[in-house]
Chains A and B, each alone.
Chain A
Amino acid sequence: QKEVEQNSGPLSVPEGAIASLNCTYSDRGSQSFFWYRQYSGKSPELIMSIYSNGDKEDGRFTAQLNKASQYVSLLIRDSQPSDSATYLCAVKNDMRFGAGTRLTVKP
């Protein structure tokens, strides 16, 4: 089983909709979880970090962590075309990424 798994997409949503991105992980001992965004040709940039079960909100972004089920998700509310990018989930301290989910927000 891969350490970190994401649906590679592509995921397409209309502008203004909620985009939901999911990530599952295999190591039950993982304690830190990160969502990065990568625009084409650019380096990954951090969007959210989450360490405790539950939801963490930052503007239009909400990260959700469920350690019992070993998944972490990212919700993007009121999606904008500028949110079109690949979203990478990283788990635990060795910063291994999932394959990334490519999101397209259509105007």
Chain B
Amino acid sequence: EPEVTQTPSHQVTQMGQEVILRCVPISNHLYFYWYRQILGQKVEFLVSFYNNEISEKSEIFDDQFSVERPDGSNFTLKIRSTKLEDSAMYFCASRGPVNTEAFFGQGTRLTVV
């Protein structure tokens, strides 16, 4: 069964460093998403991506963040100059055409120390 794959499963980084979180969406899906979930809190929408550009972004998704689909299969989230409060689980999701459900990856736990 097709699935969304995220790597790494756990990333530890020092404050101020840049990290890239990677996602391989389900092939032939068209819409891609990143979410953040701080421990014990709700799932927060970061950004949606369609047709090689950002379609929506939340107020959390500031200049520190960027997304890219570099090679037609991977979908990455880059966090520049990480802060302690960026420590969270980051989920990637993808879905097919309009009005279909999204499927989630297993998440990357980012720990900033």
| Chain A residues engaging chain B, CB cutoff 8 angstroms | 31-32, 34, 38, 42-46, 49, 51, 88, 90, 93-100
Contact = CB atoms under 8 A, between A and B. Distances in A.
Contact of A97 (B43, B98, B101, B106): B43
B97 to A, nearest CB: 10
Given A45-B104, A94-B56, 15 more contacts: A34-B101, A34-B102, A38-B43, A42-B106, A43-B91, A44-B104, A46-B102, A46-B103, A49-B100, A51-B99, A88-B43, A93-B31, A93-B98, A95-B102, A96-B45
Contacts, number: 46
Given A51-B99, A100-B43, A94 B48 contact: yes
Interface of B: 31, 33, 35, 42-43, 45, 48, 55-56, 91, 93, 95, 98-107
Nearest to A97: B43
B105 A43 contact: yes
A88 B42 CA distance: 9
A88 B45 CA distance: 12
Given A38-B43, A88-B43, A95 B93 contact: yes
Interface of B is mostly: strand
Given A43-B106, A44-B91, A95 B42 contact: no
A94 B105 contact: no
Q: Which of B33, B45, B100: most chain A Cβ within 10 A? A: B45
Contacts of B101: 34, 46, 49
Given A43-B106, A44-B91, A44-B104, A94 B99 contact: no
A19 to B, nearest CB: 19
